Amino acid sequence: MRAFLVAAVSLVLGASSGMGISLARYGSSTSADALRAPASSDESPPTAFSSAAVAKVSVDQDEFDFGAVENGSSLSHKFRITNVGSAPLTLNAGGTTCQKCTIAEISKDTLAPGDTVEVDVQYHAAGSTPKFRQSATILTNDPQRPRVELSVTGSITSIFELKPQQLVFSKLSVHEARTLGARLLNHITDSVNVVRHEWSDRTTEKFVEVQFMPLDAKALQEEGAKSGQLVSVTIQPGLPLGTFRQRLKLITDLPDNRAVELEVSATITSDISFVGGGWKDEEGFLRIGSVTREDGARRTVLVLIHGPFRDDVQLTVGEILPSFLKVTIGEKSTINNGAVVQYPLTIEIPPGSPSVNHLGSKLGNLARVTLETTHPDARQVRLPVRFAVED
């Protein structure tokens, strides 16, 4: 019986003591405080919730768009990184998505809380695809963001674009004036002006008029360009018969007087025309091709004369380029019951001629034979010749 009473009293005292400790821990002001031992005056109360100081990274922007950039250009953009945490932030350059995107500089690799640094990301715009998106990685000690991806995007284009790249006047009467236009588009800068132009052959410059006019906002929007000019080319009456083929160089006010070339061609026709082996009417020249010095070559075409002056027209050989060509005009005859007068015209590359290239490529211009006539509307007729002499 005594043992039972002792156990009961101990149980009550233990329960009372435990209740007092629990209440004191949470700051209770009940009488249970009397059961808590008094704390020393210099002891700080324990903290309920504590957190260690950590670094936290913040970037002004994760991605930057360069917009339209010229192919082959070098680009750079500075991203701003700030430590918004409470501990030092460490930065280290990681990898990139390609060799063309690099982290050029991180001026300091440790940021105190509140500090900011600029990270320079460079990109070389060169590739076969018009759009690009490349990234460079920064490694940090931010536990929430250990990797920061800095991306650059844009589209690669040529600074100039000509639409079309060639103006073809097709068959143009010797009496006719005709105008064709091309658009010079600039996808990079907000302004472009043609300050002057140059023809590859100035001997016929007086027969061709060139004008420039800024493209309006609607035209620029249609082309997706920032600026541009309308290039108008007018061929006036008076050009020699035959093929007109030139390059028009457009020199602009951009740095280094950047220039672009427009090809201009026409076939000037009248009552005089050519037919025969090797003559390409749609191209406007006589094709002989490549020949050897030992063999040389010979071609004969017919000069046809129509119209009311056909019986009175006389032909003579004028300028010959290169001068070693031999050109002979044969006897006149008529066809179609006299409606057409024809002259055979023979062009010979003599054996032993020097090695030359007149294939019309970058290595050499076309050769030509000029005929002088007594026709009132066609005083000269030019016959371009395409050939090369090889050893």
Average pLDDT for runs of 10 along the chain of length 391? 38 37 34 40 44 89 86 85 94 73 76 92 76 87 93 82 92 89 90 91 90 93 91 91 88 88 90 87 86 95 93 95 96 94 96 93 81 90 92 87
- Name the domain boundary from 269, 289, 313: 269
> Can you tell me which residue has the tokens 């002891």?
43
Cα angle 56, 62, 63 (rounded to 5 degrees) comes to 170
Instruction: Give me the residues paired with residue 83 across strands.
Output: 57
Q: Are residues 230 and 283 in the same domain?
A: no
> Can you tell me which residue has the tokens 């004036």?
177
Q: What pLDDT is recorded for position 128?
A: 61
Cis peptide before 88 (omega within 30 of 0): no
- What is the span of the domain harbouring residue 230? 160-269
Q: Are residues 358 and 327 in the same domain?
A: yes
Assigned domain for 4 exists: no
- CA atoms of 177 and 318, how far apart (whole Å): 26
Task: Name the pTM for this structure.
Answer: 0.56
Assigned domain for 188 exists: yes
pLDDT digits (tens, 9 = 90+) for 294-319: 999 999 999 999 999 999 999 999 99
Assigned domain for 8 exists: no
Q: Are residues 62 and 125 in the same domain?
A: yes
Indicate the helix (H) or strand (E) that contains 220: helix 217-223
Q: Are residues 376 and 280 in the same domain?
A: yes
Q: Are residues 128 and 180 in the same domain?
A: no
pLDDT digits (tens, 9 = 90+) for 103-156: 656 888 899 999 999 988 888 877 666 788 888 889 999 999 999 999 888 887
CATH value at residue 210: 2.60.40.60
Number of structural domains in the chain: 3
Judge whether 142 and 54 are in contact, CB under 8 Å: yes
Indicate the helix (H) or strand (E) that contains 15: helix 2-25
Q: Are residues 215 and 170 in the same domain?
A: yes
Instruction: Give me the residues paired with residue 229 across strands.
Output: 184, 214
Give just the sign of the alpha carbon dihedral 311, 316, 321, 323.
positive
Assigned domain for 253 exists: yes
- Closest by CA to 305, choosing from 378, 243, 240, 238, is 378
| Tokens linked to 272 | 């005089």
Judge whether 143 and 85 are in contact, CB under 8 Å: no
Q: What pLDDT is recorded for position 12?
A: 36
Assigned domain for 178 exists: yes
- CA atoms of 348 and 389, how far apart (whole Å): 12
Determine the residue type at 207.
F
Q: What pLDDT is recorded for position 34?
A: 37
- Closest by CA to 152, choosing from 186, 82, 104, is 104
Q: What pLDDT is recorded for position 235?
A: 95
- CA atoms of 30 and 14, how far apart (whole Å): 18
- CA atoms of 286 and 332, how far apart (whole Å): 21
- Name the domain boundary from 136, 157, 178: 157
Q: Are residues 223 and 301 in the same domain?
A: no
- Name the domain boundary from 157, 179, 197: 157
Q: Are residues 264 and 276 in the same domain?
A: no
Assigned domain for 331 exists: yes
Q: Are residues 169 and 262 in the same domain?
A: yes
Q: Are residues 166 and 252 in the same domain?
A: yes
Per DSSP (E only), the strands in 158-256 are: 160-163, 166-173, 178-186, 194-199, 208-214, 227-235, 242-252
Q: Are residues 303 and 338 in the same domain?
A: yes
Assigned domain for 243 exists: yes
Q: What pLDDT is recorded for position 127?
A: 66
Q: What pLDDT is recorded for position 339?
A: 93
| Helix, strand or coil, per DSSP, at residue 380 | strand
CA-based max dimension of the chain: 160
Close Cβ partners of 63 (under 8 Å, ≥ 6 residues apart): 150, 151, 152, 153
- CA atoms of 358 and 374, how far apart (whole Å): 29
| Helix, strand or coil, per DSSP, at residue 93 | strand
- By CB atoms closer than 10 A (0-12, 13-18, 19+), residue 75 is middle
